[in-house]
Amino acid sequence: MNIPRREVDFGFEPGQVPLDWANNDAFETTFLNALSLLFPEGEKFFVESVKQHRQFVKDPQLAADVKGFMGQEAMHGREHRAFNELMLSHGYTIGPAVEANLRAFLKRVRRTLSPASQLAVTCALEHFTAMLAESLLKDERIRDELDPTVRGLWLWHALEESEHKAVAFDVYEAAGGTYERRVAIMLLTTIVFFAVTWFVQARLMATRGILWKPWTWLRGLARLYVYPGHLTRLIPAWLSYFRPHFHPDDRDTRELLARWEKTLFGARGELREQLKLSA
């Protein structure tokens, strides 16, 4: 799988994106807005944790993949930052404070965990992003819920997350990372990921004055966890990570990605004009 660094520019403008851009629903939108707020700092952490293990990357193909992975994550951070700035115009003025808190939290994580465990955190979260990406690319219902003004951002991100899903994992293996550490860190990361995401979402909901609306919560939680159960449907894929011989490529997404690559960036792809082709 070739991992290209695509120069894209969505050029988000204030006023262009509706307030509740996911399914016209405040709960689903604040959940995804929370993820978007976590991406730039989170992805910086992923890149650093891989960079710390560069000396173990002897295989030229893996070295090229690492380069592609870093380029893609840097670009995701940049475009999500632009999107997060747009959120300010939606009244989410706590966005910068959330990012600053996450930065401080990750600084503490870097000080507390060994480089091998930091890389295991990255592998765990890359598995999360790969699962979410695959369901977005496969499930038309989820895609249809996204407003066309932001759909491209999430589809492009999903495509590239799926393209580079094995890179951090392969570096972890090349560095001699153990199974025990990988699964222990997955359990810890899952708890922390949900706690942080929920906390950030609650803060976003509070700024809109919808934190104490029971129906908003019930409807939102039912959709994420019951029907269609966007998150609970990922449980089998999450569990597969605990197999001793798990590898991200066990789920063959090559055909799916080839199709989406063409749809988004092919000669007449819908995001073609967002590619900075001169770069």
Footprint of Fe ion on this chain (CB under 5 A)?
43, 73, 76, 161
Minimum distance from residue 268 beta carbon to Fe ion (Å): 26
Q: Rounded to an integer, what distance in angstroms lies between the CA atom of residue 121 and that of residue 112?
A: 12
Q: Identify which of residues 81 and 219 has a Cβ nearer to Fe ion in the complex.
A: 81
Helix axes of 179-207 and 26-51: crossing angle, nearest 10 degrees: 140
Minimum distance from residue 47 beta carbon to Fe ion (Å): 9
Q: Identify which of residues 9 and 20 has a Cβ nearer to Fe ion in the complex.
A: 9
Q: Identify which of residues 43 and 145 has a Cβ nearer to Fe ion in the complex.
A: 43
> Three-state SS for 275?
strand
Cβ(133)–Cβ(11) under 8 Å? no
Residue 169, token pair as written in the block: 């994992």
Which amino acid makes up residue 227?
Y
Alpha-carbon distances, residue 50 vs 75, 169, 242, 255 (angstroms): 16, 9, 21, 27
DSSP bridge partners of 275: 8
Minimum distance from residue 103 beta carbon to Fe ion (Å): 17
Minimum distance from residue 9 beta carbon to Fe ion (Å): 16
DSSP bridge partners of 146: 22
Q: Identify which of residues 65 and 161 has a Cβ nearer to Fe ion in the complex.
A: 161
**Extended strands (E) in 26-155:** none
Q: Which residue is nearest to Fe ion (CB)?
A: 76
Minimum distance from residue 202 beta carbon to Fe ion (Å): 24
Q: Identify which of residues 28 and 126 has a Cβ nearer to Fe ion in the complex.
A: 126
